[in-house]
Amino acid sequence: MKIGIIGVGLIGGSFAMDLRKVLPGAEFFGLDKNPEHLKMAADMGIIDTEGGDPEIADADIIFLCIPVDAAVRELPVLLDKIGDEALVIDAGSTKKQICAAVADHPNRRNFMACHPIAGTEFSGPKAAMQGLYEGKTNIICEVEKTAFKLQEKALDLFARIGMRIRYMNPEAHDKHIAYVSHLSHISSFMLGKTVIEKEKNERDIFDMAGSGFESTVRLAKSSPAMWTPIFEQNKENVLETLREYIHNLEEFRKKLAEEDMAGIYKEMEDTNKIKEILKGIPLNKKES
């Protein structure tokens, strides 16, 4: 089996590592706009060789793991180059525009739109890890538009590396992910910005920062090159979540200004229910 990894960073590299374990005879080739990433991925054993059009035409499966703006541009071109029985799987954090970009493509049946909810705040081949997808959810959109035998092939591979599957339409996916992932990243980036602007002496930040600050601001280390296109593609849903979030912040500020400590206590007590909702979700589950 020949497997292509387009984008050999955290997501693509981790797919390769996991698949190597369950497909010991598979050959892996990689493509990446960063030549250093390709060299690093080869040195790490993530890929066997660098790929090009001949390898794409001969591939059995290709994982497209690049920023969502690039995916919208490159996916139709990629589908033009593949063989009749090849399967292309993307891993983008938005789905509506990606699905729309290939809605009328002659090879739409060869594409499966996916969003694996797994990862970390780090990027590049060095961030890739084996076992990243074990127990994680993979959201598949418009599965009925993928050829049935290719569905079976993909689902078998996902099962082998321990992923759970959920099906969703692209619009619902983008709306829900704006709340549980995209808003989290904005909050983290803006908390980091606020602290950096207020505390000009960086030593003070690090001397006083506890685990609460560290965990909350963790996502601010994520790649702007990946997240700016996500916010752009999911603009309307992100704006809606921001309106609701800002409203809640203003309400909290108002209660504090009015010394309504009973109201603040109740707000926090009610929100504590999230512990039950999130029970059992792995700590390294990706916000992407």
Q: pLDDT exceeding 90 applies to what percent of the chain?
A: 81
Output the CA–CA distances (angstroms, integers) from residue 80 to 56, 75, 77, 102, in the order listed.
Answer: 10, 9, 5, 11
CATH code, domain carrying 71: 3.40.50.720
Quick one: 273 exposed, middle or buried, by C-beta within 10 A (0-12, 13-18, 19+)?
Answer: exposed
CATH code, domain carrying 239: 1.10.3660.10
Same domain, 72 and 108: yes
- Pick the residue with more confidence: 84 or 122? 84
Total domains, the chain: 2
pLDDT at 73 over 90: yes
pLDDT tens digits for range 159-218: 999 999 999 999 999 999 999 999 999 999 999 898 888 777 666 776 777 777 778 888
Task: Establish if 287 belongs to a structural domain.
Answer: no
Q: Is 16 helix (H, G, I), strand (E, B) or coil?
A: helix
Task: Establish if 145 belongs to a structural domain.
Answer: yes
pLDDT at 273 over 50: yes
Q: Where are the alpha helices (DSSP H) in the chain?
A: 10-22, 35-43, 53-58, 68-81, 96-101, 148-160, 170-177, 183-198, 202-208, 211-217, 224-233, 235-257, 261-271, 274-277
The pLDDT score that the predictor gives to residue 284 is 46
Question: Which of 130, 154, 170 is at the close of a domain?
Answer: 170
Q: Is 171 helix (H, G, I), strand (E, B) or coil?
A: helix
Task: Establish if 284 belongs to a structural domain.
Answer: no
Question: Which of 138, 170, 202 is at the close of a domain?
Answer: 170
Paired residues of 164 in beta bridges: 137
Q: Which domain holds residue 213?
A: 173-277
Q: Per residue, what are the HEC states of 85-126? A: CCEEEECCCCCHHHHHHCCCCCCHHHEEEEEECCCCCCCCHH
- Yes or no: say if 162 and 282 are a contact pair by the CB < 8 Å rule: no
pLDDT tens digits for range 136-158: 999 999 999 999 999 999 999 99
Reported pTM? 0.87
The pLDDT score that the predictor gives to residue 33 is 94
